[in-house]
């Protein structure tokens, strides 16, 4: 039987720490950037000898998806996305005493060597298309905001030629047209996929989640592993608390970590704000936090976090939003 190259990858937000066994007995270690260029370099490293490769990464739910998609599309590379609980138990069984990026990569290499290999299946084409449409829409929204700010600044300066203002107006109109066109394409992807359509309907049952927010939320959540918990969703969105303490002298305010999916975090902000005003049970929860001394932004972030828990439950139990599950006592 022809030997395969084996590889374990510890995935971080900016860096991939890699341990490769090329079958010669010597383990190669290296690092690559966790971006498109780094993925291409890693694929070249894995395929340059023409040997088939099996790669194991951990399902972080945050940074591994784009890497896995790139690896799965490459020739002669198979990918296994391991459950973090399984890899943790495996490392404990191997008596791994220290935990660093390097030791984690070696542990994943040993995991793919010893455990039954289960090839990872990429998300459905409709899900990936929806995510691509959503990401493009978000990029255009940023560009539109920049152009609007530029127009406001130019209108404040009398010396600005009218032709420049008209040029910016035309660009904004063009962007609006593109956003509308891409939104309709995204909705078309949702309509032809029964599972996406059902989840989309659950999302817009929340007062505050309209079509635009639902597209982004559905796109970002649908690519996550199905066995992720609501708490893992919260961490994935970067809405988990980050404590700032040092000894007895430093007791900083607790803030959200913001280590995670900024698209998902941004898509929750406006729905949380609207729901805090127009969804009775959400408003009661928000006002309850204010009465306990929370600042408005702290209370709003708590609503975002609890909304994400609610969406997790809606998807899990295939049900629309139920305010009594959000807050037991009435407003």
Q: Are 8 and 58 in contact (CB under 8 A)?
A: no
Report the candidate in 316, 206, 185 with the shortest Cα–Cα distance to residue 268: 206
Which residue matches tokens 């929370």?
Answer: 294
Tokens 């929750």 correspond to 268
Q: Across 142-215, where does the E strand assignment appear?
A: none
The low-confidence residues of the chain, meaning pLDDT below 70, are 1-2, 60-62, 242-254, 257-259, 330-331
* Tokens coding 271: 């729905």
- Rounded distance between C-alpha atoms, residue 319 and residue 152, angstroms: 44
For the chain, the structural domain boundaries read 5-114, 124-192, 204-331
Domain 5-114 fold is Nucleotidyltransferase; domain 5 (3.30.420)
Give the SS3 label for residue 6.
strand
pLDDT for the residue 246: 44
Q: How much is the pLDDT for 6?
A: 94
* pLDDT score for 249: 46
Q: What is the pLDDT of residue 149?
A: 95
How far apart (Å, rounded) are the C-alpha atoms in residues 54 and 6? 5
- Look at residue 158 in the predicted model and tell me its pLDDT: 83
CB 206 within 8 A of CB 257: no
Judge contact between 252 and 245, C-beta under 8 A.
yes
Q: Where are the beta strands (DSSP E) in the chain?
A: 5-11, 15-21, 28-33, 53-58, 77-82, 241-242, 245-246, 250-251, 255-256
How far is the C-alpha of 141 from the C-alpha of 135, rounded, in Å? 10
Cβ contacts of residue 52 below 8 Å, gap of 6+? Answer: 2, 4, 5, 76, 77, 78
Distance of CA 34 to the CA centre of its chain: 14
Residue 155: phi, psi to the nearest 5? -70, -20
pLDDT of residue 236: 81
Q: Is 165 within 8 Å of 155 (Cβ atoms)?
A: yes
Cα distance between residue 140 and residue 293, in whole Å: 38
pLDDT of residue 4: 87
What does 167-212 look like in DSSP terms, one character per residue?
Answer: HHHHHHHHHHHHHHHHHHHHHHHHHT-HHHHHHHHHHTTSTT--HH
For 218-266, write each residue's pLDDT tens digit. 999 998 878 788 998 998 888 887 645 444 444 445 577 666 788 999 9
pLDDT digits (tens, 9 = 90+) for 11-60: 988 899 999 999 877 899 999 999 999 999 999 999 988 889 999 998 76
- Give phi and psi for 85, each to the nearest 5: -65, -40
For position 17, what pLDDT does the model report?
95
pTM: 0.79
Query: How far is residue 301 from each of residues 42, 64, 203, 221, 314, measured CA to CA in Å?
Result: 38, 26, 19, 18, 20
E-strand ranges in 207-320 read: 241-242, 245-246, 250-251, 255-256
């Amino acid at each position: 039987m022809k030997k395969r190259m084996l590889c374990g990858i510890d995935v971080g937000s900016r860096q991939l720490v890699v341990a490769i066994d090329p079958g010669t007995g010597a383990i190669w270690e290296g690092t690559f950037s966790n971006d498109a260029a780094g993925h291409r370099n890693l694929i070249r490293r894995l395929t340059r000898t023409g040997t088939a490769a099996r790669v194991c990464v951990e399902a972080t739910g945050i940074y591994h998806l784009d890497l896995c998609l790139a690896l799965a599309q490459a020739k002669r590379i198979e990918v296994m996305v391991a459950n973090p609980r399984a890899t943790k138990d495996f490392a404990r069984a191997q008596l791994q005493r220290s935990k660093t990026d390097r030791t984690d990569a070696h542990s994943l290499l040993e995991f793919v060597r010893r455990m039954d290999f289960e090839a990872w299946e990429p998300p459905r084409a409709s899900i990936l298309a929806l995510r691509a449409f959503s990401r493009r829409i978000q990029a255009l929204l940023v560009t539109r905001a920049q152009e609007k700010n530029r127009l406001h600044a130019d209108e404040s300066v009398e010396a600005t030629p009218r032709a420049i203002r008209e040029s910016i107006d035309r660009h904004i109109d063009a962007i609006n047209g593109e956003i509308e066109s891409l939104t309709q394409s995204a909705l078309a992807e949702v309509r032809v996929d029964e599972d996406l359509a059902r989840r989309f309907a659950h999302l817009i049952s929340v007062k505050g989640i309209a079509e635009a927010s639902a597209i982004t939320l559905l796109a970002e959540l649908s690519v996550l592993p199905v066995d992720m918990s609501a708490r893992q969703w919260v961490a994935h969105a970067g809405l988990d608390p980050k404590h700032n303490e040092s000894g007895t002298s430093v007791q900083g305010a607790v803030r959200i970590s913001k280590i995670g999916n900024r698209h998902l975090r941004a898509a929750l902000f406006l729905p949380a704000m609207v729901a805090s005003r127009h969804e009775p049970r959400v408003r009661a929860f928000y006002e309850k936090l204010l009465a306990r001394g929370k600042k408005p932004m702290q209370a709003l972030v708590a609503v975002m976090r609890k909304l994400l828990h609610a969406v997790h439950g809606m998807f899990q139990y295939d049900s629309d939003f139920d305010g009594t599950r959000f807050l037991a006592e009435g407003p």
